[in-house]
Chain A
């Protein structure tokens, strides 16, 4: 049975012509690059007896992930297929396959007894299946049957069933192209019932005020001139009464708009508040990988500006849309009823204006977008310089920074000029168009007034209505853009609300309120990014209460092990168990409660020292906080601060030294009182003296706990029960310090290098 990737019929045919029969094929996978870096279709086929490479001609068109399955298959057209290369390697000569990463593609290497051979290259999109093929080749060679479990890791890329497009984000099966904007709209609308009263009131008041607006030209025009001022009018001479009515109408209109504005302001704040809370809580639920994948900046945008955009929907978009529709229809109807000939004349410039606006809006939007990007790049430059101000000063590079800022500032400046020019040309032109409508009406209406077929009042009323109809028309010209940006924001917000955390708790998790602290890692393999394994086949067994050390170069995967045990990430292969229970089955609450971590990056939140120490146990008593601080050797320096435990730290607060921060985070861990303790380079960034103090604190801390200590300075690990030496994600040595020194292996080399380096600096060890 053929697995991994189905081969097209035309390739099958070519294979059969060369005596490779479908029945004997075990594994197949297609690559898209030749060794020379040309796009060409290459298939690697593994049969019972041999490994076969079959390569077609250079192709002129390639589709990558996310551009639609249909176009992918189209690219592989049978018409252009011919066999350019056909190579067979008997399996008994094949030692294995290897996938190596190049800068942005991969190469497939065949290992034989005679050395290595480059078979083909492929873009990253194909990497997963080839790695799996390399792994499964061994099984085929041994003559073992391939079973379904072997392909568990080959999560096939999922497609949108509607248009055949690959989901750009595989973790989230939503096709952005087929995504029904109307369904987003409906979902946004589903927020409305929460603000039912406000929205209804807003629309009601807007309608009322536009009705009054409709009335006022009529009162001030036709009624005033034709009925009050003109001889023979119905209310001839009753000037004061009509003025009173006009004033009353104005007052009423004012009252309505004030009420409306107040309701509106209140609702705006409420919508934003609700949305932000909802997004923020949804984000807290997500796994760490979500945060490392997204930039902090874009997350902040999501909380702030997308919520803002969506709020426009409730407070500007929807009510304005309804009201403007009503306005256009209302004014139009009134005008047609009054004088349909004149009404048509008003509309002469309207298509011109609408056309002009439709053409100009996209340009204006593009400029606004550019301005936004330019100013955000200026902001990040400011941020960058202020953060690194010490370096700037120390190297005397102020002038350089001024120049750099000057360039960014100039970018904003030139966009601003362009934007200003655009705005100040576009809108006067639009208003010219509107005046044009008025002038036409004056001209045509004027002649009619003189000939007596039109009253002066009607003309005045008309002129006033003209001014009123263009505003709503203008609104309608950019409603599409408004709609799009609103729906985009909504979609981004829903993405967060709907995101499924990668690390999830099982529905019925095992409770383990009292851990012993036994940890076992069995054949653990893990990678942050697909195709780049950070840990490979790790096996570690730790008894309760043991202290073990993880040693190795930076990037060897030490901290990753810590991340996996705390289940910030889930292992991809193998398992991690605590007290014999797989961490995936454990209640996350119990797990986190009993694992404490002191790491190199000590993060202190904005707040007092006491609050920071009691972060993991907010209900801790003062006595507990002080005794934790005492145990962490932090009490002394805290008491020397004028504000003691009430000293405010974190952004904007008091600046603490690296060692002080470190000791506060140790106090935090002591108070947390975990069964399992992870020390990730806990003493890496402090001087020797402080290190000794911290070491002391740590020795008190590790008593009676299972401790995993990660350290660069090997001297700090000498007392560990056992050390594991990692290299490139694999364990290469294990044993006690003495054993490893005796073994004269990797650890010995690292150790002698370090102690000599220390001697050279005259520090001694």
Chain B
């Protein structure tokens, strides 16, 4: 068996972590994120994928080229310099766009759909979701993800922290 395939197999089965000191992230003129790795490889555009998008938002972030191949994993965002953290956060906020519901104005369940009228951190949103557990997902005991008919996501980080009225309205789904 050739050495090259041995190496390939090794590459396939071990996780590469990016060195925070030697990996250089920067913003391209086109508005994307670029990366130069420690061995000098240049990636004009990379995407960030969270390994645990619900539970560990700032740790274990996979850095991938546009074809989807993994370049390496960021173990923790906070190992990076402050301006890079900001850059990476911006990129992830774009990718994981999900308005956080802060207030529920109205919530109705009718004929297999739930109709939402809510205030979110991104503005006032009205949307429709299907009834049932596939659209109203408990990520943890208190954290809720709502997925609308088009697959847009909305989040309630802790339903207990909503105001009294909003919580009452949510009750029909709890």
Contacts and interface: CB of A to CB of B under 8 A. Distances in A.
Interface of A: 33, 35-39, 58-68, 71, 100, 102-105, 107, 110, 115-118, 121, 123-125, 127, 166, 168-169, 176-177, 179, 295, 298, 366, 369-370, 488, 491-492, 495, 529, 752-753, 756-757, 759-760
A82 to B, nearest CB: 17
B124 A62 contact: yes
B1 A124 contact: no
Interface string B148-169: 1111110000000000000000
A35 B94 contact: yes
B111 to A, nearest CB: 4
A67 B128 CA distance: 6
Nearest to B92: A103
A64 B127 contact: yes
Contacts of A169: 149
Tell me the interface secondary structure of chain A in the complex: mixed
B32 A118 contact: yes
A39 B122 contact: yes
A67 B96 contact: no
Contacts of B171: 366
Given A38-B122, A61-B123, A370-B174, A104 B152 contact: yes
Query: Closest 3 interchain pairs by CB?
Result: A66-B128, A118-B31, A117-B30
Contacts of A366: 171-172
B111 A295 contact: no
Contact of B115 (A66, A179, A295): A66
Contact of B149 (A63, A66, A179): A66
A491 B112 CA distance: 9
B45 A63 contact: no
28 contacts: A39-B122, A64-B126, A64-B127, A64-B152, A65-B150, A66-B113, A66-B148, A67-B126, A71-B126, A103-B96, A104-B96, A104-B97, A104-B153, A107-B94, A116-B32, A116-B45, A118-B31, A123-B97, A124-B152, A166-B128, A169-B149, A366-B171, A366-B172, A369-B172, A492-B111, A756-B5, A757-B9, A759-B1
A60 B123 contact: yes
B134 interface: yes
Given A64-B148, A103-B153, A298 B132 contact: yes
A534 to B, nearest CB: 15
A409 to B, nearest CB: 16
Given A104-B97, A176-B111, A64 B150 contact: yes
Most chain B beta-carbon contacts within 10 A, residue among A36, A37, A71, A166: A37
Interface string B88-119: 00100111111000000000001111010100
A33 B123 CA distance: 12
Contacts of B123: 39, 58-62
B44 interface: yes
Contacts of B44: 115
A310 to B, nearest CB: 15
Interface string B48-74: 000001000000000000100000000
Contacts of B124: 60-62
B140 interface: no
A58 B124 CA distance: 12
Contacts of B1: 756, 759-760
B151 to A, nearest CB: 5
Nearest to A112: B30
Nearest to B113: A168
A127 B123 CA distance: 21
A104 B151 contact: yes
Given A63-B127, A168-B130, 13 more contacts: A35-B94, A37-B93, A39-B122, A64-B127, A64-B152, A66-B128, A66-B149, A68-B126, A104-B97, A104-B147, A121-B94, A169-B149, A488-B111
A66 B122 CA distance: 19
A37 B126 contact: no
B30 A116 contact: yes
B95 to A, nearest CB: 5
B125 interface: yes
Contacts of B30: 110, 115-118
A598 B173 CA distance: 42
Contacts of B113: 66, 168, 176
A65 B95 contact: no
A492 B131 CA distance: 12
How many chain B residues sit at the interface, stated as a range, is 35 or more
Q: Which of B8, B32, B111, B171 has the most CB of A within 10 A?
A: B111
Nearest to A38: B122
Contacts of A118: 30-32
Contact of A62 (B93, B98, B125, B147): B125
B28 interface: yes
Nearest to B117: A67
A103 B30 CA distance: 20
A529 B45 CA distance: 27
Nearest to A166: B128
Contact of B97 (A103, A168, A369, A757): A103
Contact of A124 (B90, B128, B150): B150
Contacts of A529: 151
A298 B166 CA distance: 28
A295 B135 CA distance: 12
A319 B151 CA distance: 44
B80 to A, nearest CB: 20
A169 to B, nearest CB: 8
A115 B28 CA distance: 10
A60 B123 CA distance: 5
Given A65-B148, A756-B1, A295 B132 contact: yes
Given A104-B97, A121-B94, A176 B150 contact: no
A179 B97 contact: no
A488 B111 CA distance: 6
Interface in B12-35: 28-32
Contacts of B90: 36
Given A39-B123, A67-B126, A177 B5 contact: no
B112 A492 contact: yes
Given A104-B151, A105-B152, A756-B5, A65 B122 contact: no
Contacts of B97: 33, 37, 102-105, 121, 123
Nearest to B151: A124
B52 to A, nearest CB: 13
A67 B115 contact: yes
A121 B98 CA distance: 13
B128 A168 contact: yes
A747 B46 CA distance: 27
Contacts of B117: 67
B94 A36 contact: yes
A176 B115 CA distance: 11
A541 B98 CA distance: 44
Nearest to A181: B111
Contacts of B147: 104
Contacts of A60: 123-124
Nearest to A127: B150
Contacts of A488: 110-111
